[in-house]
Amino acid sequence: MVALSSKLALGAGCYWGTEKFIVKDFQKQYPGSIKNAKVGFMSPDPNAMENPSYRQVCSGATGHVEVLWVELKDPSTTFEPLIRFFFQFHDPTTLNSQGNDVGTQYASAIFCEDEPQKRIAEKVKAELQDLLDAGKISNYRSNKVETSIVDTNPFFPAHEEHQAYLDKNPSGYCNHFYRFKAWPSSKDEL
């Protein structure tokens, strides 16, 4: 079996909700699976501005995406399930938007550390597209998966007040929700 990197970054819209769904909810299914996680910014462009502020990113001028930087304890058993889970709580069919949040910072993106990660991410994305084409999933705005799968680039952590934001502010803004609870097989109905 090919070794997978343990690190990746996921952009699924507002990073507060992404952090909550992955750190809390994913770990309910895979206890202790996440070694470390932080919210922050990553750009698909390796030459993008360094250490942008939240305001600069929100302006849309930097091209950075709000991401959750994740380190998995055992990527061989949890990387693929994490990618499937990622597609369950946000809308990967909207380009640079999630609900009312619009701009490049809200892109659906998987930032991979290595080629084995990319192959798995592409495989899961293709499965999702097949499920959409077959009408097995209809809880998204569109029928075409727009998620970009790119190499990781420098990660810039958000300031401390944005880390674990929804833990500190339980009624804080979050537009993420489950589009479907379990990944359907080709024979399952949702």
Kindly name the residue from 14, 58, 112, 174 that is annotated as catalytic.
14
The number of beta carbons lying within 10 Å of the beta carbon of residue 96 is 17
What strand order describes the sheet that includes 65-72? 148-151, 108-112, 7-12, 65-72, 34-42, 156-157
Report the SS3 class of residue 100: coil
SS3 breakdown of the chain: % helix, strand, coil, rounded to 5? 35, 20, 45
Instruction: Give the C-alpha separation, 42 to 91, whole Å.
Output: 19
Give yes or no: 174 in active site: no
**Active-site residue numbers?**
14
